[in-house]
Amino acid sequence: RIAVGAFTGAVIGATGGATVGGLIAGAIGAVIGTLGGAELRKRLALAFGKDQPAAFIEDAVAIVGGLLIVAAVA
């Protein structure tokens, strides 16, 4: 995840001449997203009493977030 986040950040950063900055931001974002997503899913699973609803919500948040990011840079 960190490598893909760094690569994606570098590609997006390259469009504005900030490849290294994008690479670093992408790696940091991947770490924050991974840890934050895991914590959110854990809390949701505890609230629902099972993991599957939490997994669906986590996936929906990731998909919508990705679409919003793509729309912002397109």
How deeply is 56 buried, as exposed, middle or buried, from its count of CB atoms within 10 A (0-12, 13-18, 19+)? exposed
For residue 42, how many other CB atoms are within 10 A of its CB? 13
Q: Enumerate residues 6+ apart whose C-beta is below 8 A from 68.
A: none
Tens digit of each residue's pLDDT (9 = 90 or more) over 31-74: 999 999 899 899 999 999 999 999 999 899 889 988 998 898 77
User: Which residue, 48, 4, 55, is CA-closest to 27?
Assistant: 4
- Please state the pTM of the whole predicted model: 0.74
**According to the model, what pLDDT value does residue 70 have?**
83
- Can you give the residue ranges of every domain in the chain? 2-73
